[in-house]
Amino acid sequence: MSLAAAPSLLRLSPVAAEAERRLLEELAARLRARDDALIERVLRELFPEVRRWMHHHLGSHEELEDAVQDALSEIASALHRFEGRASLATLARRITIRTSYRYYRKAQRPRPMPDADRVTSQDPEARVNARRALERLHVALSRLPERRRSAFVLCAIEGLSAAEAAKILNISRNAMRSLLCRARADLDALLASDDDLGRRR
């Protein structure tokens, strides 16, 4: 199979079968050679994913679109020196997480915007409740340390396994499990101790 015929470039892995590894090597070589058409294709594939990831990390943060643009620019820059040691999806996730840290630091506590129309339920009351739930979760998440928050978002919201998340954060599986346990305990405590969480911002 050639790169042009590959259905997705994002998940090509260096630990996959020989044919896929060769495709990844070719992809890395062409990206380093600044193949603009290929870079654009990769960015187009990545764009919805990066937006979704960033939304999971920041919630409906007022600077969400700027954070997405920032992450995408950083990814575009990194593509020029992509060596294929990990998949493009892993590279992009790492950059997205790093960028989300910056936006968290900039706005010490993010202020999510109303999100009612993004939830699938058709009932307006349910949407309002869902919006409040989202705000509450993201305010609680914003009070966690960076790595704990990232670990929790990757596993609990994005549904990655602990091993996949550990690879993205470049930590051991045991460290990942520890981060997840602590994050969950912190969030339970925060939600239990502060009924007004999400409304006092």
Partner 1 sequence: MSELDRLLEAAAGAEPDDLTQAEIDAEIGLAQITGRARHRAWVRRRLFLATSVGTALAAAAVLLFMVGPGHEAPPPRSATQGAVEAAPAEPDPSEMEDRTDLELPTGDRLRASRGAHFRVDSATLAERRIRLLSGAMLFDVRPSARGHFHVETSDAQITVVGTVFTVSAEPSGTIIRVYEGRVEVTHGDTRELIRAGESMSVPTGIGTLEHRTMDPLAEDARRAVAHRLSTPREEPAAPARPSASRPARARSASAAEVRGWITEGRARRALRVAREHVARGDVDPWALLEADALRGLGERDEAARAYTRAASLLPTPRREQAGFTGARLHRSPQASLHALDVGEVSRPGSPLRERALAMRADLLERLGRRGEQAEVARQYLESYPAGSRREHMQTILRLR
| Residue ranges that bind partner 1, judged by CB under 8 A | 36, 39-40, 43-44, 47, 51-52, 54-56, 59-60, 62, 64-66, 68-69, 72-81, 111, 113-120, 124, 127-128, 130, 133-134, 136-138, 140, 156-157, 159, 184, 187-188, 191-192
List phi, psi (to 5°) of 101.
-60, -45
Q: Which is nearer to partner 1, 13 or 129 (CB)?
A: 129
Q: How far is the CB of 118 from partner 1 (least distance, A)?
A: 5
CA 68 to chain centre: 10
29-47 as b/e, with b when 16 or more CB fall inside 10 Å?
Answer: ebbeeebeebbeebbebbe
Confirm if 176 and 184 have CB atoms less than 8 A apart.
no
Q: Which is nearer to partner 1, 20 or 191 (CB)?
A: 191
Amino acid at 167: K
Q: Which is nearer to partner 1, 21 or 56 (CB)?
A: 56
Q: How far is the CB of 19 from partner 1 (least distance, A)?
A: 29
Q: How far is the CB of 127 from partner 1 (least distance, A)?
A: 6
Residue 196, Cβ density class (10 Å: 0-12 exposed, 13-18 middle, ≥19 buried): exposed
Q: Which is nearer to partner 1, 17 or 120 (CB)?
A: 120
